[in-house]
Structure 1
Amino acid sequence: MALLDIRHLHVSFRTYRGILEALHDVSLTVEAGETVGIVGESGCGKSVTAQSVMKLLPRGAAVYDQGEVYWRGQNILPWSERDMNRLRGRDMAMVFQDPMTALNPVLTIGDQLEEGLRLHRNLQKEEVQREALDLLQAVGITSPEKRLRQYPHELSGGMRQRCLIAMALSCSPRLLFADEPTTALDVTTEAQVLALIQSLQQKMGMAVVLISHNLGIVAQMCRRIYVMYAGCVVETGTAEDIFYRPAHPYTQGLLASLPDPDHKDKPMQGIAGQAPDLFHMPSGCRFFRRCPQAMRICMTAMPLQYETGPGHTAACWLLSPERRRFCETKHTD
């Protein structure tokens, strides 16, 4: 039984412009102790997927249209806010992508770190303070006694990110969502933060869902990868599948846009065009206007998921056994 199992999840938002579909038929699984990556361009639905699982989306605006989210075999979508509060922090936690906005600017680091310890671990005041110090030391923060009394603006970006990690891990969760955990960090600090997450994961035996647009980081840390585009999962496979045997044209475009260290003079190739407007999604494949291999069927029908190998699937009509018939006429838009 998977630790987390998302099945055919559809999520939309009510806005002043109308209904915006943020997630369309998203399915993914996370096993205990593994590291899973979710990659794609900004706005493709990576963060919304994680926030949907933890039910952190704005109430009243977010709508769960279809699907189920199973946590250790139980569908948590019908759970009340009270039940979710017991789950968050204790069993699953999140490191948000911008530590300056994720931390409360008017509360000290100590106040914010100790809150989760008091709520979920039922510790006495002295025990809470001692545990908070131990957590800051565990994430490599110097002078932890001083940092507990400081406010977020008094810390560097790397320190704020480490504080967020300490807060997320304070109750030893089974699953950690790391949403762009190295955004705006320099290369040295980025490497330190990633090494810290890996070290703590091995020590605690937790699963990690790494959300990133940085393919290099994902290749380094993840065993399995989900590629998202315009709210859909377009390809799923192991890191080796995705980086050495990409099946979807979008994944191939992402990899082609990376610099080649063996051919430094080779120009990088971007993906032409822009992602579709989420308010006006095409009826067919959402990538077809940018796809150099698009066919007429791509304009009108959403592609199915086709298996290209064990555990490796992609949603593309090019993989259909009937591809030859589809190839008769290509679109010219």
Structure 2
Amino acid sequence: MSDYLIELGRKEYVEFSQRIAGSFPKLTFGAFANRDLCNELAYAGKDLFGDVIESMQALLIDPSVGLSAVDIARDDASTDHQNLVIGAAAATAICASLFESRTNPIGQTPFWLHMTPPGVAKASGIDIQYNNTTDVVLHTDWYCSNDEAYVPNRIGLFNLLVSYKRPGNFHWLPFSKWSEFTEFSKNDLLRSDISFELLPQLLVTKDGNSRFGEKYLRTGPIVKDGEAGPIYFLNGRIDRNGRNSTQTVAEFDRLRSALKESYGRFEIAQAERRLIVLNNLTCFHGRDRMEDPIPGAPVQRAFLRFMDDTRVSFGKTQVFHD
């Protein structure tokens, strides 16, 4: 087993399930908008998952690691749907002990649900336009609020369903392991205002359908100083249509090449019911494209994204249209 992977056993999972069912017997994904439920999940998680949370926190605060993962068990006596919802509840409980999750404004839940039905990305053209490479693209996560772009301190990713025969790996590179971190962090061009197209995300709406969100144009630096050192907003596609100087674009391309060839990165398999929590302010991350979808599966992948409400601002955004 990986040094960064922890197991949440069936015994603790079943006990957690029974406790939550006692207070909320008809648990659904929509119920996560209930503050009383989220508070109950946080208390139950601290009580039942204390050793798991302590081990995860130790890995997260280690600057040479910055990531921890936990496999959440199943209860064979429960239905698939019950395991999905209770698995999400367990992931929510763990994340609540590691950071304060931002509330999703769409459904008022402490997470974003991303779901990929077969063919939706390809049919929209997004897959072809933005994901036309098999290379792992290292980046940091972001979100937009009130026309401001933010980088959250920590993020959590929980795979509810993975319907691929070859799901590949999740990769991350702690800043402390990147030999060229100091050089690029002091680069004046990367600290100046740069225009980027921020790529749309596949979201699940209130009616349960999947759609791509807005595309945004962000103008701001790639790197700035934070309380504990340089912080990166590395996400999206640099504008090459005149908004940036040729020298700026060249420096960005050099940064991308350096990260692509960097040593010191770690990897862990992408797996169903695996929760990954990452320090987004001290690590880059990326993942392999999942390949060989399982025929007949109604959903190719479904996962929850948790984002820390502690964040760093990185400039203004505006909705962008081609």
TM range (shorter): under 0.3
Larger relative CO (CA 8 A, sep 6+): 1 or 2? 2
Q: Which has the higher strand share?
A: 2
Query: Normalising to structure 1: TM-score of the pair?
Result: 0.26
Query: Normalising to structure 2: TM-score of the pair?
Result: 0.26
Q: Which has the higher helix share?
A: 1
